[in-house]
Structure 1
Amino acid sequence: MDVLHGRRTMAEIRLVIDHHLGRVFTTGSGDDPPAAGPGPF
């Protein structure tokens, strides 16, 4: 929705999506610290 109101660019949306997909699909023990993202999401 934010894109429709001009609050975020498509590049910013892609960064957020990539960030969350990376967190969901990372392999490991689950004890890794959270990755730094583009914002407080």
Structure 2
Amino acid sequence: MRFHHNLVQATVDALHNIFNDGKYADQAIQKILKRDTRWGFS
């Protein structure tokens, strides 16, 4: 299975925001999805 670098980096960023910065998961994921509109969030 191949993982795309941008998706792996987005996952790492989201997990870092959730566990290290104390952000709520829904807010962290929403922010990550807003970075690139091709990922399904406008």
Q: TM-score, normalised by structure 1?
A: 0.47
More helix by percentage = 2
- Structure of greater Rg: 1
Q: TM-score, normalised by structure 2?
A: 0.47
Highest relative contact order (Cα 8 Å, sep 6+), 1 or 2? 1
